[in-house]
Amino acid sequence: MLQSKKDIASFTLDELKNEMKEIGEKPFRAGQIYEWLHKKLADRFDEMTNLSLSLREKLDQNYEIRKVEMVRRQISKIDGTNKFLFCLQDGNMVESVLMKYKHGNSVCISSQVGCRMGCRFCASTLDGLERNLTPSEMLRQIYQIQKISGERVSNIVIMGTGEPLDNYDNFLKFIYMISDEHGLNISQRNITASTCGIVPNIYRLADEKLQITLALSLHGSTQEKRKSLMPVANKYDLEEVLRACDDYFRKTGRRITFEYSLVHGVNDTEEDAGELIRILKDRNCHLNLIPVNPIKERNYEKPDKKSAAKFKNKLEKSGINVTIRREMGSDIDGACGQLRRKTMRGV
């Protein structure tokens, strides 16, 4: 059987030093290669011109720089948001988004091909999970966007397709590598990871004491409501999830962002707002309301602007730090997983 080549851009600098030892090269080569991969954002070994031809050939025999290749780019006429569809080495596709704000450029990446969490309103999960992304496939979504757009990326959100805490080891390695001074050196404070609430891994993440923001997808303010929208709530109930979030805040000092997709008639009533106040009022946190982005497979609707504002005001009056998320790229299939689905199905 053909031995598959190793995924070189998923090695940390220390791991790469060991790899060099194993193939009989000096450890300092690792520094050079790491810089080519993660600072100069090379796509091929033959770009690495300060390495000898024989070393480049040796690398090529043993390793590969796994492909993350743009196949489609859509630019919003409304707000300049760019949506990218990338093809991976094995033909799978993932999507990422570049959002331009006054304070800098933010990239939203995917962490898995598909997703197995089954949230009712989400397009990414309709076909289930295909596979996890490797650290290099997460990193290289950002590298490609930076190269293609010519824009420097300063903020990262892991809110594309997939559940990062369901791909925990690769996700964690990604965080270390993207914030490493030998790579793009993006401040952890500018990184937000969003989870549907896989409790044991929230505790593990808290113990890493990173400075990233944890965003928790709440979507329901009682266990029953949450369960009706998010199957993961059958496994980890609301109380447990909130306790894990408290632990994250205690250990890292980073305030949790709670995300709440407003679904008209489902979780946007006065009563829902009241319950939400009850669970959030004594927590030092931020609440982000997201009017649901309807997908055609489900008949969920977003509330109109007025009633979303009313919901927000009620929370605000109770002292909760709340915003309604600005809708970006609504003309370019902005919601999770929509572009990928469209392309895979040839619609």
- Tell me which residues are annotated as active site: 95, 336
Q: Which part of the chain contacts ligand SAH (CB under 6 A), choosing from 12-20, 75-83, 118-126, 235-243? A: 118-126
Q: Should residue 290 be labelled a site residue for ligand SAH when binding is judged by CB under 6 A?
A: yes
Q: How far is the CB of 108 from ligand SAH (least distance, A)?
A: 8
Query: Near ligand SAH by CB under 6 A, which window of 2-10, 126-134, 246-254, 287-295?
Result: 287-295
**Binding of ligand SAH at residue 106 (CB under 6 A)?**
no
Q: Which residue, chain included where needed, has tokens 């990414």?
A: 124
DSSP assignment, residue 43? S
Among 293, 303, 339, 341, binds ligand SAH (CB under 6 A): 293
Measured from the CB atom, the residue of 12 and 194 that comes closer to ligand SAH is 194
CA angle 226, 230, 234 (to 5 degrees): 80
Closest to ligand SAH by CB, 28 vs 101, is 101
Of the pair 13, 198, the CB lying nearest ligand SAH is at 198
Residues 225-264 that bind ligand SAH (CB under 6 A): 259, 261
Candidate list 59, 139, 210, 335; residue touching ligand SAH; CB under 6 A: 335
Size of site (CB under 6 A) for ligand SAH = 18
Q: CB–CB of 156/192 below 8 Å? A: yes
Question: Nearer Cβ to ligand SAH, position 64 or 95?
Answer: 95
Tell me which of 295, 308, 320, 339 binds ligand SAH, using CB under 6 A: 295
The three state secondary structure string of the chain is CCCCCEEHHHCCHHHHHHHHHHCCCCCHHHHHHHHHHHCCCCCCHHHCCCCCHHHHHHHHHHEECCCEEEEEEEECCCCCCEEEEEEECCCCEEEEEEEEECCEEEEECCCEEECCCCCCCCHHHCCCEEEECCHHHHHHHHHHHHHHHCCCEEEEEECCCCCHHHCHHHHHHHHHHHCCCCCCCCCHHHEEEEECCCHHHHHHHHHHCCCCEEEEECCCCCHHHHHHHCHHHHCCCHHHHHHHHHHHHHHHCCCEEEEEEECCCCCCCHHHHHHHHHHHCCCCEEEEEEECCCCCCCCCCCCCHHHHHHHHHHHHHCCCCEEECCCCCHHHCCCCCHHHHHHHCCC
Least distance in angstroms from the C-beta of 268 to ligand SAH: 12
Provide, rounded to whole angstroms, the least separation between the CB of residue 316 and ligand SAH. Answer: 20
Q: Token pair 């031995």 is at which residue?
A: 3
Which one among 105, 144, 190, 217 touches ligand SAH, defined by CB under 6 A?
217
Q: Please, which residue, 155 or 195, has the CB nearer to ligand SAH?
A: 195
**Segment contacting ligand SAH (CB under 6 A): 38-46, 116-124, 148-156, 315-323?**
116-124
Q: Residue 253 and residue 247: Cα distance in Å, rounded?
A: 10
Q: Binding to ligand SAH (CB under 6 A): which residues in 156-195?
A: 159, 163, 194-195
Give the binding range for ligand SAH (CB under 6 A) out of 19-27, 135-143, 172-180, 288-296.
288-296
Tell me: does residue 292 bind ligand SAH (CB under 6 A): yes
User: Residues 193 to 212: which contact ligand SAH by CB under 6 A?
Assistant: 194-196
Binding site for ligand SAH (CB under 6 A): 117, 119, 121-122, 159, 163, 194-196, 217, 259, 261, 290, 292-293, 295, 335-336
